[in-house]
Chains A and B, each alone.
Chain A
Amino acid sequence: MHQTALDARHRALGARMIPFAGWEMPVQYAGLVEEHRAVRSAAGLFDLSHMGELYVTGPDAGRALDAAIVTTPSKLAIGRAHYSMIAAADGGVIDDLIVYRLGEQEWLLVANASNAETVATALRQRIVGFDAKLDDASLRTSLVAIQGPLAADILQPFVPIELSSIKYYSGTKTTACGVPALLARTGYTGEDGFELFVDWADGVQVWDTLLEAGKSRGLLPAGLGARDTLRLEAGMPLYGQELDRGTTPFEAGLGRVVKFDKPGDFVGRAPLEAAMEQPRKTLVGLKITGRGIARTGYPVYLPAAPEPCGVVTSGTSSPTLGTAIAMAYVPPEHAAPGTALEVGIRSQRASAEIIPLPFYRRST
């Protein structure tokens, strides 16, 4: 089991630690709802050092990535980022990724912790024949995220650049809190925020600095529990729940991510082109109007139907909305907003209604 560089910090803060994708990670500190609200109203500080950081560099790195994943990293401007996916030869999703272009010949791919090794292995195979190399820096990198409406204000004194000049989905090499950092305006909460990729040992300095500076502004350390409810409210998919090998990007509502118009082949192109025409299921947002909370794996029914037509992928009691919400796969012909459905919650059926995703969108 890996521990992040901030392990002792989490324990000193009273975090409840859980095993997650081979790492011991904080699931919550003071309390999930309190942490969730801090991120929506002020800021939260996250240790995401379990994520996978894969650097792809070299004269052919851009072309190699264009062939390896579903987007076109060679077309990214230096300093910009995009959301992407890596598909298997059969079109199944191996992982979703954030791709940053850091230089003329340098890209960073951030993979989910649970898939980092699989992605690294696949990329290593896929760049064979290109003048490009892969460096898996996952175990040398600390990743600290500050997320929330006050994130920029809290971080600004500790970086030498004007944060208002950093666009959403951009990243730049700079210093932060006195250490070299890749500073990116990205996140997984539905709020404004930044992610700081630093050397392993430097994570502590970034964490301590931002925690201390943010305390008086309402910043709280936030665990994986709040991260999950924040991303769910924001309608963001989680690999292993909304995405997996058996689900296509089109079914997950992420068809726009797949760039069929790029020149050349890429792994999964042909099966994905076929899959685009015939989604077997559609990801929808559900508001539970009856009693209970829909959870991962609970069956979804058409009203009064004996057999389920779909399944819940993620569900919770939304701290922001004060109601139970869920994401679920349902048949494409029953996926329109306003459709009445039922969720099987233990021995009962709870009424639900399809509502547009995301459940929460920040006002600014």
Chain B
Amino acid sequence: MDTPDKLKYSAEHEWLDADGKVGITAFAVEQIGDIVFVELPAIGTMVEATKAFGVIESVKAVSELFAPASGKVIAINDTLADTPETVANDPYGAGWLVKIELSNPSEVNALKDAAGYRAMIASL
């Protein structure tokens, strides 16, 4: 399972990069299945670490997206409205979800590094 070393990971299977970009992990993609819909917050929305900020849907079910850290949404991936499957095809690249301006950068310390995340999903 791909888990890039440069990212930080939440227990809810979201990743966060150094620029504040957020996405879901390859593990989450596999769990969700065929992704057919993504609902993201408006630019300017304040999100809170571990709280839901949007939803991602497969044919079968609705899953919530949880913010890995708190802050203001400064960009969203508009392309997902028409091609939600991009999240599954490229979860760490073109399938990013939102970009957050962190309000409390120290929250990043609570996230796992790639090795820690790999250990977590191995234990599931």
* Chain A interface residues (CB < 8 Å from chain B): 27-28, 31-33, 36, 225, 228-229, 291-293, 295, 316-317, 319, 324, 346
Given A225-B59, A295-B62, A319-B59, A32:B39 Cβ within 8 A: no
Q: How far is the CB of B54 from chain A (nearest CB, A)?
A: 10
Q: How far is the CB of B104 from chain A (nearest CB, A)?
A: 26
Q: How far is the CA of A319 from the CA of B33 in the complex (A)?
A: 13
Q: How far is the CB of B109 from chain A (nearest CB, A)?
A: 32
Range class of the B interface residue count: 10 to 19
Q: How far is the CA of A317 from the CA of B36 in the complex (A)?
A: 7
Q: Is B3 an interface residue, CB under 8 A from the partner?
A: no
The answer on a CB contact under 8 Å between B59 and A316 is yes
The answer on a CB contact under 8 Å between B34 and A33 is yes
Interface SS, A side: mixed
Q: Closest residue of chain B to A347, judged by CB?
A: B39
Q: How far is the CB of B45 from chain A (nearest CB, A)?
A: 12
The 6 A-B residue pairs with the shortest CB-CB distance, nearest first, are A317-B36, A33-B34, A225-B60, A32-B59, A317-B59, A293-B37
Most buried by B among A32, A225, A229, A293: A293
- Note all chain A residues with C-beta closer than 8 A to B57: 293, 317
The answer on a CB contact under 8 Å between A32 and B62 is no
The answer on a CB contact under 8 Å between B37 and A292 is yes
Q: How far is the CA of A348 from the CA of B57 in the complex (A)?
A: 16
Q: How far is the CA of A225 from the CA of B60 in the complex (A)?
A: 6
Q: Is B55 an interface residue, CB under 8 A from the partner?
A: yes
* Chain B interface residues (CB < 8 Å from chain A): 33-34, 36-37, 39, 55, 57-60, 62, 81
Q: Beyond A31-B33, A36-B59, A225-B60: 9 further Cβ-contacts under 8 Å?
A: A32-B58, A225-B59, A229-B60, A292-B39, A293-B36, A293-B57, A316-B59, A317-B36, A319-B59
- Note all chain B residues with C-beta closer than 8 A to A229: 59-60
The answer on a CB contact under 8 Å between B34 and A32 is yes
- Note all chain A residues with C-beta closer than 8 A to B36: 293, 317
Given A229-B59, A316-B59, A28:B33 Cβ within 8 A: yes
Q: Closest residue of chain A to B54, judged by CB?
A: A346
- Note all chain A residues with C-beta closer than 8 A to B39: 292, 346
Q: How far is the CA of A206 from the CA of B122 in the complex (A)?
A: 35
Q: How far is the CA of A27 from the CA of B61 in the complex (A)?
A: 12
Q: How far is the CB of A250 from chain B (nearest CB, A)?
A: 30
Q: How far is the CA of A319 from the CA of B39 in the complex (A)?
A: 19
Q: How far is the CA of A27 from the CA of B60 in the complex (A)?
A: 10
The answer on a CB contact under 8 Å between B37 and A32 is no
Show 25 residue pairs from A and B whose CB-CB distance is below 8 angstroms, ordered by the A residue: A27-B60, A28-B33, A28-B60, A31-B34, A32-B33, A32-B58, A32-B59, A33-B34, A33-B59, A36-B59, A225-B33, A228-B60, A229-B59, A292-B37, A292-B39, A293-B62, A295-B62, A316-B59, A316-B60, A317-B36, A317-B37, A317-B59, A319-B59, A324-B37, A346-B55
